[in-house]
Amino acid sequence: MNADRAGQDQKGHLKTEREGRAGGLTGRGASAAVIAAGCMWGSMGLWVRRFTAVGLDSMQILALRTAVTAVAMGIFLSIYNRKLLRIRLRDLWCFFGSGICSILFFGYCYNRMIVLTSLSVAAILLYTAPAMVTVMSCVLFHESLTRRKILALLLAFAGCVLVTGVLEGRQAVSTLGILTGLGSGFGYALYSIFSRFALDRAYHPLTITFYTFVCALAGALFLTDWGPVARFVAGAPGNALYGLAYGAVTTVLPYILYTSGLQQIENSRASIMATVEPVVATLIGVLWLHENMTVTGAAGTILVLGALVALGREKEE
């Protein structure tokens, strides 16, 4: 009797977070959401060019991104459904993990890494993340490690290596550069892990995304010189709109889509699917910025797409 009563209390306590989840993504829609998130992340370089042109550094750009996301989502949820703003204090560690340990730690390590090494090496070290997600998910969530999943993981990593062009020239990498690169991959991987913990506690993807960036913003407040950011936003009306669009396209929408996809597909599969990001970044460079597409870049694109096809055809074992 006590067990039944406790179960009923727990169901009632989780009712708020469960509302709205009945219409969640299923099947191919979840995979499409994750791939779409990767495509949006792949467009980030195009947006960042304007910020760097006006003198913002990488940490200031990250801080602007977190601020726009936290404020915009807070306003949206206050209007759309205030119940989605409710969380239990005992679950705060999930959002601290996704916000501080993932978003902020990843951003800091990546910013340090691109100073210590080349962008191509930085990208390769970053995309050790799917392997880390796969291993951690097997241990923490008992996800299966199928042959097809291993094949997709190898194809995706090989594709990223080729796309970034790291094999086309000799790269000198310091020990500190390698460590910060692996740190960026680890931080990148932790978003999938902590988001899964939050989803298992019946939180809505909108709630997870909002509190992730609230926590990330709280950390960024102490690590960022906000003066240049404020001057950029106040410089012209178009700057503020550009900042809002940047936050929406590279952060709000992709993180909501990715987290929604995690409701239906495994962490490891989602992380591999998101490796479409460097492919999109390369294609944008070729089609929009008139950069050259190398043979190895084209081969890498084909390998990453092959990984997505392999995952799409995977059957439950």
Alpha-carbon torsion 229, 230, 232, 237, what sign?
A: positive
Please report whether residue 245 resides in a domain. Answer: yes
Please report whether residue 78 resides in a domain. Answer: yes
- H-only helix segments in the chain: 2-13, 15-18, 28-42, 44-53, 58-80, 92-96, 105-116, 119-126, 129-140, 147-164, 175-200, 205-220, 227-235, 237-247, 253-262, 267-273, 276-287, 295-312
Q: Are 156 and 34 in contact (CB under 8 A)?
A: no
Q: What is residue 109's three-state secondary structure?
A: helix
Give the per-residue pLDDT at 19: 41
Give the per-residue pLDDT at 166: 65
- Mean pLDDT value of segment 152-174: 75
User: Number of C-alpha atoms within 13 angstroms, CB side, residue 161?
Assistant: 9
pLDDT of residue 53 exceeding 70, the answer is yes
Please report whether residue 133 resides in a domain. Answer: yes
Residue 23 pLDDT level (bands cut at 50, 70, 90): very low
Q: Are 175 and 246 in contact (CB under 8 A)?
A: no
Give the per-residue pLDDT at 90: 96
Q: Please, is 222 exposed, middle or buried when counting C-beta atoms within 10 Å of its C-beta (0-12, 13-18, 19+)? A: exposed
Q: How many residues does the chain have?
A: 317
Please report whether residue 247 resides in a domain. Answer: yes
**Averaged pLDDT of the chain:** 83
Please report whether residue 110 resides in a domain. Answer: yes
Please report whether residue 82 resides in a domain. Answer: yes
Provide the number of structural domains found in the chain. 1
Please report whether residue 309 resides in a domain. Answer: no
pTM: 0.82
Q: Please, is 57 exposed, middle or buried when counting C-beta atoms within 10 Å of its C-beta (0-12, 13-18, 19+)? A: middle
Please report whether residue 108 resides in a domain. Answer: yes
Range of the domain at 49: 42-148+171-264
The span from the CA of 64 to the CA of 243, in Å, is 8
Model pLDDT for residues 108-151, shown as the tens digit of each residue: 888 777 777 766 677 778 888 888 999 899 999 988 888 888 88
